Amino acid sequence: DIYIEADIDSVYDQLNNFNQIFIVGTAISLFITGLLGFFIARTITKPITDMRNQTVEMSKGNYTQRVKIYGNDEIGELALAFNNLSKRVQEAQANTESEKRRLDSVITHMSDGVIATDRRGRVLIVNDM
């Protein structure tokens, strides 16, 4: 038969050292995981936040700003489509304003009286004779 003798205090010391290493390693791992999670979440939410801010600007009539495109993924494609939409709305608004000015000029310079109404009969345009 073989017998091994060991001091129980040294075994407990080794277990305590192992537990301390395990606790420190777990804390470091959790910190790194949290940090990575924060940065990954930020890379996803930043473009969406930019698009939300641009939407607010568009609702105020500002179509000149563009959303920064951060990558070629789905969010990047969405940002590109959003910028194209903003550009097309800006162009349509400019065309509408140009046509309105042209119509106002024509109506203003007509010698006959002109009244334009909508389908419900509300007066939209009246020229000054």
Res. 5: pLDDT tops 80:
no
- Asked whether the CA dihedral 16, 18, 21, 27 is positive or negative, the reply is negative
Which amino acid, one-letter code, is at 74? E
Give me the mean pLDDT over the 58-86 stretch.
89
Domain ranges of the chain: 8-126
Pairing assessment for the beta strands 115-117 and 123-126 based on DSSP bridges: antiparallel
The per-residue pLDDT for range 74-124, each reduced to its tens digit, is 989 999 998 999 999 999 999 999 998 998 888 777 777 888 888 998 988
Tell me the mean pLDDT in the region 32-46.
Answer: 93
